[in-house]
Amino acid sequence: MSQLLSQGQIASLKAACDSWQDKYDRLLESHKRLQKVNQGLEDKLLKLVDRCESEKVRLMEDIESLKTSVVNAGHTVNALSTENI
């Protein structure tokens, strides 16, 4: 047998429903804000990684250039040592 709800019970259920809807709406809004913050942080992190990778490539090029200079300087020292003997 079905029971009919009294006006007080209906009002109580409506208040509970409204309360849960309000909580849901606040959670949804917080979630949206958090997604925006996370996206901003991800963008910043990707830029930082890109900058670090570019710097790494530049430093590797500098190392190769310096290695070449050291090898050339060694050849020059050997050549001058041979001349002075």
φ, ψ for residue 22, nearest 5 deg: -65, -45
Show pLDDT as tens, one digit a residue, over the chain (85 residues): 356 889 999 999 999 999 999 999 999 999 999 999 999 999 999 999 999 999 999 999 999 999 999 999 999 999 998 988 7
Is the alpha carbon torsion for 53, 58, 62, 67 positive or negative? positive
Cα 32 to Cα 36: distance, rounded to the nearest angstrom: 6
Provide the whole-model pTM.
0.63
CA-to-CA dists, residue 10 to 16, 18, 36, angstroms:
10, 12, 39
Distances (CA, A) of 30 to 22, 25, 38: 12, 9, 12
pLDDT of residue 1: 36
Distance from C-alpha of 73 to C-alpha of 35, rounded to nearest angstrom: 56
Structure tokens belonging to residue 79: 């050549």
